[in-house]
Chains A and B, each alone.
Chain A
Amino acid sequence: MNRRELSIDDIESLAVGAWVLGTGGGGNPYLPLLNMRALYREGHCVQLMQAADLADDDLVAGAGGMGAPLVGIERMGDPYTLTRAVRAMETHIKRRFTALMSVEIGGGNGVRPLMAAALMNLPVVDSDPMGRAYPEGQMTSTAIGGLAPCPISLVDVRGLESIVHSTPNAKWTERVARKICIEYGSTASMCTPPRTGAEIKKWGIHGTTTKAIRIGETVRRAQRLHEDAVAAILAVEPGVLLFKGKVIDVARRVTEGYLRGVLGIDGLDEFRGVVMRIDFQNEWIVAYRDGEPLAMTPDLICVLDSVSGEAVGSETIRYGQRVTVIALPPPEIFLTPKGLEHVGPRAFGYDLDYRSVFSS
């Protein structure tokens, strides 16, 4: 079996790269990283495996956090509660999982399955159903593939445990689970619907943990060498530079279990005199340049710290910060008509036809 033992340095890179792929949401991986450092100090270790090496009847759990990222930096998640979410699912389906997987590679959820994997001594599959971060459960390759929308378990650190047992589709799972999450305080540890090895091989977006590690290594190397980290990302990933500027306004509020708002950036350098506005629902959704839509979901809109090249999240971005906005191409599956139904601008309530920044 082709497995890679992740070193703590790999996980440090994963945290940086997952944050870039988080497109503003998914929560800062720094806190899951701190948990991983503690677990590795205690002697735990995590293996990364390829989806191709899964047996068809293997059972894979998606383990991660749900909620508003702003809440996650006050009520910090822990490996034990996340493991309880996976165990609650095992109890419910009366089967044991053979591997864990990220529910979204972007943001903290790119690192979180490792927290449970360390405690449960299970491997993590190098795939996920988003290839980035999205705010809602049906915005996944697995939902687009029509896989079972439930059950899903939600656990709160105070001892609350819930299972959404039966729903007609992923959108309903998202609606009901979100209500539970809101009652918990807009943060929950969750286990998404169990998937077989065959399902993951067919519908997973593959190699995303490795990709995040690669992006993270690139940023960290550029930082060490005092090179331009944003340029370094664009040299290894097929992305485009959208904007450079200084944050002049952040309006945000926690509603319906999400962090929603609008970011305003004033152009600097070659973008002086131009303004960018980015709407967000946990993640950056649509970027407007001087009022005209410039980039939109499912393209990955990444707001990066102009100095360090590290991602800046919607929950912590602040007035005066100097940022660079780049776009990265989305996984192919989201560009199909069915894919765009799930994650295109209309899925977020925008009356816009998807136009890729990569098509021009």
Chain B
Amino acid sequence: MRRIGIDVGGTNTDAVLIEEGKVAGAVKAPTSEDVTTGILDSLKALGATGVLKAKKIDGVMIGTTHFINAVVQRRHLTKVAALRLGMPASASLPPFCDWPEDLAELVRGGVWMVEGGHEYDGRPFMPLDEAAVTRAAREMKAAGLKSVGISSIFSPLDPGHERRAAELLAKELPDAAITCSSDLGRIGLLERENAGLLNAALADLARDTIAAFENAIQESGIAAPLFITQNDGTVAEAHQARRLPVYSFASGATNSMRGAAYLSGLSDAMVIDVGGTTTDVGQLKHGFPREANSVVKVGGVRTLFRMPDLLSIGLGGGSHVVLDPLKVGPVSVGYRLLKDGIAFGGKQLTTTDVAIALGLLILGDKKKVAQLDAATCRKVLAESARLAEEAIDRMKTEAGDVPLIAVGGGAFLIPDKLPGVSQVIHVEHGDCANAVGAAIAQVSGECDQIFKDLSRTEALSAAQGIANDRAVAAGAARGSLATIESEDMPLAYLPGNSVRVRVRVVGDVAGS
């Protein structure tokens, strides 16, 4: 098994080759504004190390923070038309009602609420008002909206009204990107709708970003299928990620944590991933990122996604440094580090400049930072360490000292000793942990179907068996399979003790 893992971060694009369970090569290139160039540069750099040599590559797995950054930074978002089927219920809490106002302003292209939806037992709540859907579609068209999020009461039980509304919309808006909430989740109208609206807001960005990925792979001459890594540490094929980008929201963090576990050989530790702009702190339990326990807010929006439990702070290798009074971050030069940093001829003092002045990093031109005295530089590093220490303390779930794996391009900001930490571990290729995590991303198997005339236990175990077989067929090692979701919903309106069961399992790629 030979896979290339790529991490497209805000500052750097990293690429690694994993071959026979080892890191055979790892390189970094600056992320480019067009994304493609950065990936091409990193693949060229990887090729230049001589590890590729026209070998057959089984897959290129790309992880990116693009989608979550777009929401957090409120950039590149598409205006969304929200169509909710369920009137007259829930009208006092319309779509976007619990979004942060600034994000709602950017994304809310319009809200349409029409009659429709189902009861918990499958009866229609109200018949779908098809004329109103068509009217809404015409108004969306007149308003120039091209992305629509549809939600409907109890659509995870019966997606019929959402699908029909999508058909009616497509007639009026043939080019629109349409997200149905039933494709994204479970019971809980508001959270499911929020996920759908976020997904719809990413429609243009997902199309452009994934096209850029595809172009880069094609131009690099590597003949391998493209996969995009997802929040839960598994991969999706490119066309699916284009349709449902919210599933790839937090993959960058998952990748770096799993990469840290892989590179260090530890399965229980704290992980600190210091990038160019932000630092993420999380915890590894049995080799997996500890999951956020309940409601996850993305850019302030409540969803029910499964995501690693992370604390992000504005500290990184590109963080702005102000000397008087001393302040590190949260603003960063981002991917302009190699132009704007003082050691590279720019004007902005960054944490990287400070590390170069102290001789911690051999980069740029040390003479350009010679005016920085050692005492000042140490104060800057102490301040960075203090920010990191505070974040680690907040994420710790046990009182004693724990080992800490420091990864990411800015890991030089983490000193060898920190209060509350038994040992700081820096690993080889740690600066490319995200890309390593992408390369070793897992495959999943899912079963979501209705079973009849079985006991609940029998239905669950049948679904488990099917999900396991699908994961193995997709390349997972059977011994490594773990169940991450298991849910059953009795369908009272169908005969024969019917129950809808959804089971999702994940496993390591066989032979990795």
Q: Spell out A's residues near B (CB within 8 Å).
A: 31, 34-35, 38, 68, 70-71, 73-76, 78-80, 157-158, 185-186, 226, 249-251, 253-255, 305-308, 310, 312, 315-316, 318-322
User: Do A76 and B492 have beta carbons less than 8 Å apart?
Assistant: no
- Hey, which chain A residues are within 8 Å of B309, CB to CB? 307
User: Do A78 and B91 have beta carbons less than 8 Å apart?
Assistant: yes
Is there a chain A Cβ closer than 8 Å to B394's Cβ?
A: yes
Among the listed A31, A74, A79, A253, which residue makes an inter-chain contact with B490, where contact means beta carbons less than 8 Å apart?
A: A253
Contacts of B152-190 to chain A: CB distance below 8 A: 153-154, 187-190
A320 to B487, CA, bound (A): 11
User: Do B90 and A253 have beta carbons less than 8 Å apart?
Assistant: no
Among the listed B190, B487, B492, which residue makes an inter-chain contact with A253, where contact means beta carbons less than 8 Å apart?
A: B492
Main secondary structure of the interface of B (DSSP, over half): loop
Please, which residue of chain B has its CB at the minimum distance from the CB of A262? B456
User: Do A254 and B121 have beta carbons less than 8 Å apart?
Assistant: yes
Shortest Cβ distance from residue A13 to the other chain B in the assembled complex, whole angstroms: 18
Provide a sorted-by-A list of 8 A–B residue pairs whose CB atoms are within 8 angstroms: A73-B189, A75-B125, A80-B92, A226-B393, A254-B120, A254-B490, A254-B492, A308-B293
Among the listed B97, B98, B153, B484, which residue makes an inter-chain contact with A74, where contact means beta carbons less than 8 Å apart?
A: B153
Please, which residue of chain A has its CB at the minimum distance from the CB of B484? A320
- Hey, which chain A residues are within 8 Å of B190, CB to CB? 31, 34, 73, 76
Given A70-B120, A185-B125, A254-B121, verify A78-B488 contact (CB < 8 Å). no
Among the listed B93, B394, B485, B488, which residue makes an inter-chain contact with A31, where contact means beta carbons less than 8 Å apart?
A: B93
- Hey, which chain B residues are within 8 Å of A318, CB to CB? 487
Shortest Cβ distance from residue A182 to the other chain B in the assembled complex, whole angstroms: 9
User: Do B487 and A319 have beta carbons less than 8 Å apart?
Assistant: yes
- Hey, which chain A residues are within 8 Å of B389, CB to CB? none
Among the listed A73, A251, A255, which residue makes an inter-chain contact with B456, where contact means beta carbons less than 8 Å apart?
A: A251
User: Do B86 and A75 have beta carbons less than 8 Å apart?
Assistant: yes
Please, which residue of chain B has its CB at the minimum distance from the CB of A73? B188
Among the listed B121, B123, B153, B487, which residue makes an inter-chain contact with A75, where contact means beta carbons less than 8 Å apart?
A: B153
User: Do A186 and B120 have beta carbons less than 8 Å apart?
Assistant: yes
User: Do A74 and B154 have beta carbons less than 8 Å apart?
Assistant: yes
A320 to B505, CA, bound (A): 13
Given A68-B120, A186-B121, A310-B294, list of 7 further CB < 8 A pairs?
Answer: A31-B190, A73-B190, A75-B117, A76-B90, A158-B89, A306-B293, A320-B485
User: Do B294 and A35 have beta carbons less than 8 Å apart?
Assistant: no
User: Do B394 and A320 have beta carbons less than 8 Å apart?
Assistant: no
Among the listed A35, A253, A308, A315, which residue makes an inter-chain contact with B93, where contact means beta carbons less than 8 Å apart?
A: A35
A68 to B188, CA, bound (A): 13
User: Do B92 and A305 have beta carbons less than 8 Å apart?
Assistant: no
Main secondary structure of the interface of A (DSSP, over half): loop
Shortest Cβ distance from residue B193 to the other chain A in the assembled complex, whole angstroms: 10
A172 to B53, CA, bound (A): 81
- Hey, which chain A residues are within 8 Å of B456, CB to CB? 251
A255 to B493, CA, bound (A): 12
Shortest Cβ distance from residue B182 to the other chain A in the assembled complex, whole angstroms: 12
Shortest Cβ distance from residue B313 to the other chain A in the assembled complex, whole angstroms: 14
A73 to B487, CA, bound (A): 17
A186 to B157, CA, bound (A): 16
- Hey, which chain A residues are within 8 Å of B393, CB to CB? 226
Please, which residue of chain A has its CB at the minimum distance from the CB of B188? A73
User: Do A321 and B120 have beta carbons less than 8 Å apart?
Assistant: no
- Hey, which chain A residues are within 8 Å of B484, CB to CB? 320
- Hey, which chain B residues are within 8 Å of A80, CB to CB? 92
Is there a chain A Cβ closer than 8 Å to B126's Cβ?
A: yes
Shortest Cβ distance from residue B190 to the other chain A in the assembled complex, whole angstroms: 7
A34 to B294, CA, bound (A): 18
A185 to B486, CA, bound (A): 26
- Hey, which chain A residues are within 8 Å of B397, CB to CB? 307
User: Do A74 and B189 have beta carbons less than 8 Å apart?
Assistant: yes
- Hey, which chain B residues are within 8 Å of A35, CB to CB? 92-93
A35 to B188, CA, bound (A): 16
A251 to B153, CA, bound (A): 22
Is there a chain A Cβ closer than 8 Å to B237's Cβ?
A: no
Among the listed B89, B119, B486, which residue makes an inter-chain contact with A157, where contact means beta carbons less than 8 Å apart?
A: B89
User: Do B98 and A315 have beta carbons less than 8 Å apart?
Assistant: no
- Hey, which chain A residues are within 8 Å of B492, CB to CB? 253-255
- Hey, which chain B residues are within 8 Å of A251, CB to CB? 456, 488
Given A185-B120, A254-B120, verify A76-B93 contact (CB < 8 Å). yes
- B476-493 vs A, Cβ < 8 Å mask (1 yes, 0 no): 000000011111101010
